[in-house]
Amino acid sequence: MATRGILSLRFNQDQGCFSCGTETGLLIYNADPLALKLRLDKEDVGSVCQVEMLHRTNLIAVVAGGATPKFAENTVLIWDNLKKKFILEFTFPALVLSVRLTRERLIVALRTKVYVYSFPDNPQKLMAIDTRPNPNGILEACPTSDHPLIVFPGHKSGSIQLVDLSLAQPGKSSAPITINAHQGDIHCIAINQEGSLVATASTKGTLIRVFDTLNKRLVIELRRGSDPATLYCINFSNDSAYLCASSDKGTVHIFALKDSSLNKRSSLAKVGLLGPYAESQWGLTNFTVPAECACICAFGPQSSVIAICIDGTFHKYVFTPEGGCNRQAYDEYLELGDDDEF
C-alpha cells in the first residue's frame, strides 16, 4: 500500500543506490551515505509505479502507474539521464508488472509471460516465456554478465524456473530448469551477485530456502518465524556471506550463510526434542522498523544493513557475528535536497 505517495522502492544491482517511484515522479538516492541523486517530477514522467536502475549508469527503466500516469501502463520507457529524455520504448500486450535490467538484457514480467530483449544497443525480442499466473510480477535477474540468469515462479505452485540468458538467441528456445522450492505459491525471490544461489519464500513467509542454481540442491533452510508473514524483500550480501529479509511484521532478519553456525538454533534441538522447528536455523539477529511498515532491505558497507521504508524513513543498523545489532543512522529520505553528483 502506498504511503506518502510512494508506489515502489527498489535497490539497484549492487545495493549501493535505491529508486523510489511516486505519485509525483521518481527519485534516486545513494544509499550510504544517504544522498538524493536524481529527481524527475510529474511534468517529466507523470506518476511512476516502477523504477529500475542499470547499476549506476545514465539509463533508467520507468513504468507509469498511480493516479496521474503520463504513459500507458503496458509500456516500459528508458530514460537517458545524460540526454535528459526518454530514448527507448517497449510496449506489451498487457500490464507490465515488473522490469529488470542487466548490462545486456531487458526482462519484463506480465501476468502470464516473461519477455527478454537485447539491450540497450539495437534492442530486439529474444524470448517470450509462458508462466503460471504471476500477478505480483515476481522476477529477478542476476546482475553479472558471467552468469546471465533470470528466475521467476514455475508452472507448478511453489516451484521456480531458472533460465540462462546466455542461451537466448532470437527465435530459439531453451528448456528452463525447475526447482520445487515450497508447497505454497512463491512470493519472494533473490539471486546473489554471481548467480550461484537463489533464495525463495512462499506466501506463508515462515521459511526462506536457499538453492544452488547449478545442481538445484537445497543449501540451507532459514526460519524467519513461526507465524505466517508477507515478505517484502530478500537480499544477499555482495559476498554471499549473509542474507537479509523484511516482512510485514516490521522486522528485518539477518542470517549467516557462509558460517551458518552463527545462526540461532531452536532450543528444542539442544535438549533432543524433535519437531517442525528443531532443524531450522533462525536468524543471527534482527531489528524492527516502524510497526508493520513495508520496507526493502539490503547490505551496506562494513557489516551494515539498510532498510528503506514506505513511510519515507531510512534506517541503518550495524551487526556483529555474535548477534549484536545497533542503529547507526536514521533519516527521512523524502526531505533531502538534491545532490546532483551521480
Structural domain count of the chain: 1
Mean pLDDT of the chain: 91
Q: Please list, residue by residue across 147-181, b when 16 or more beta carbons sit within 10 angstroms of its beta carbon and e when fewer do.
A: bbbbbbbbeeebbbbbbbbeebeeeeeeebbebeb
C-beta of residue 188 within 8 angstroms of C-beta of residue 233: yes
**Per-residue model confidence (pLDDT) at position 293:** 87
pLDDT exceeds 60 at position 245 = yes
Is residue 342, in this structure, part of any structural domain at all? no
Is residue 130, in this structure, part of any structural domain at all? yes
Q: pLDDT digit string (tens) for 271-311? A: 454 445 456 799 999 999 987 789 999 999 999 999 999 99
**Per-residue model confidence (pLDDT) at position 289:** 93
Is residue 341, in this structure, part of any structural domain at all? no
Is residue 340, in this structure, part of any structural domain at all? no
Looking at the whole model, is its pTM more than 0.85? Answer: yes
The arithmetic mean of pLDDT across residues 198-218, rounded, is 96
pLDDT exceeds 90 at position 269 = no
Q: pLDDT digit string (tens) for 141-163? A: 998 888 899 999 999 999 999 99
Is residue 201, in this structure, part of any structural domain at all? yes
**Per-residue model confidence (pLDDT) at position 274:** 47
CB atoms within 10 A of CB 210: 22
C-beta of residue 18 within 8 angstroms of C-beta of residue 319: no
pLDDT exceeds 60 at position 109 = yes
Instruction: For residue 2, name the pLDDT band (cuts at 50, 70, 90).
Output: very low
**Contact partners, residue 215, CB within 8 Å, separation at least 6:** none
pLDDT exceeds 50 at position 342 = no
Query: What strands, in cross-sheet order, belong to the sheet with 285-288?
Result: 231-236, 242-247, 251-256, 285-288
**Per-residue model confidence (pLDDT) at position 172:** 55
Is residue 285, in this structure, part of any structural domain at all? yes
Question: Could you tell me what percent of the chain has a pLDDT over 70?
Answer: 91
Q: What is the domain-level CATH number for residue 277?
A: 2.130.10.10
Lowest mean pLDDT among 179-183, 232-236, 278-282: 278-282
**Per-residue model confidence (pLDDT) at position 280:** 74
Is residue 102, in this structure, part of any structural domain at all? yes
Q: pLDDT digit string (tens) for 39-75? A: 999 999 999 999 999 999 999 999 999 999 999 999 9
**Residue range(s) defining the domain that contains residue 91:** 6-335
Is residue 237, in this structure, part of any structural domain at all? yes
Better-predicted residue by pLDDT, 266 or 26: 26
C-beta of residue 289 within 8 angstroms of C-beta of residue 252: yes
